[in-house]
């Protein structure tokens, strides 16, 4: 969805950083359903699975992901995301069973890919996600830096309840 001004874009990015204190580290090897909010209605755009790729001591856990679209002839997109370590949780291997606040963001050193709301294979320009105790990742995704179109993204365990539309207070007001 196009945001009416830069303030909306800033609010969307800041909102994605509001993470509950009881969030868990990113579980690997589980299948997640992915939905993109391009407007007010979530559009299913496939499934994603994360695998621990590297453990950078005292810095971050890096996960490799495989994202498969939901087209009749499925395509595969791959990429890397980083989960920064926190002061009390310095090991990716230990963090999988301990509750703490976490953010997952696109790795800035590599090219990552995914699928937009139309199921088109795209390079992902930016992505920031917060994780809840129910293993739901939600935040923002941007497929190009050329325009200021930022979509919402919702990633939840396969088969769990579908994402709900955003509350009315967050919907942009139409211009007259």
pLDDT at res. 15: 44
47: left (phi over 0), alpha (psi -120 to 50) or beta: beta
pLDDT at res. 167: 61
Mean pLDDT value of segment 78-107: 78
Mean pLDDT value of segment 101-128: 91
Structure tokens at 14: 């800041």
Provide the 3-class DSSP secondary structure of residue 169: helix
Q: Give the Cα separation of 30 and 22 in Å (integer).
A: 20
Contacts of 78 (CB under 8 A, 6+ apart): 64, 65, 66, 67, 112, 113
Element housing 122 (H / E): strand 121-124
Higher pLDDT, 12 or 142: 142
Q: Give the Cα separation of 29 and 76 in Å (integer).
A: 16
**Average pLDDT value for the chain:** 78
pLDDT at res. 87: 73
pLDDT at res. 166: 61
pLDDT above 90: residue 121: yes
Count CB neighbours of 82 within 10 A: 21
Structure tokens at 79: 């990429």
Mean pLDDT value of segment 104-131: 92
pTM of the model: 0.75
Q: Are 105 and 82 in contact (CB under 8 A)?
A: yes
Higher pLDDT, 41 or 134: 41
pLDDT above 70: residue 100: no
Q: Give the Cα separation of 110 and 103 in Å (integer).
A: 18
pLDDT at res. 154: 94
pLDDT, tens digit, 9 for 90 and up, residues 17-44: 444 333 456 777 889 999 999 888 899 9
Q: Are 39 and 150 in contact (CB under 8 A)?
A: no
Categorize the per-residue pLDDT at 99 as very low, low, confident or very high, splitting at 50, 70 and 90.
Answer: very low
Q: Give the Cα separation of 113 and 80 in Å (integer).
A: 9
pLDDT, tens digit, 9 for 90 and up, residues 59-92: 888 999 999 998 888 899 999 999 888 777 677 8
Provide the 3-class DSSP secondary structure of residue 79: strand
């Amino acid at each position: 969805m196009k945001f009416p001004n830069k303030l909306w874009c800033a609010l969307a990015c800041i909102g994605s950083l509001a993470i509950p204190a009881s969030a868990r580290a990113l579980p690997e090897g589980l299948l997640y359903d992915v939905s993109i909010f391009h407007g007010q209605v979530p559009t299913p755009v496939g499934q994603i699975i994360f695998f621990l790729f590297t453990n950078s001591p005292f810095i971050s856990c890096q996960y490799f992901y495989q994202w498969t679209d939901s087209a009749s002839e499925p395509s595969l997109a791959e990429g890397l995301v980083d989960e920064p370590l926190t002061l009390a949780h310095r090991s990716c291997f230990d963090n999988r069973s301990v509750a703490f606040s976490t953010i997952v963001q696109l790795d800035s050193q590599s090219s990552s890919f995914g699928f937009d709301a139309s199921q088109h294979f795209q390079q992902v320009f930016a992505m920031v996600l917060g994780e809840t105790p129910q293993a739901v990742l939600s935040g923002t995704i941007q497929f190009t830096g050329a325009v200021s179109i930022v979509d919402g993204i919702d990633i939840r365990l396969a088969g769990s309840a579908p994402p709900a539309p955003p509350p009315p207070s967050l919907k942009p007001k139409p211009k007259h």
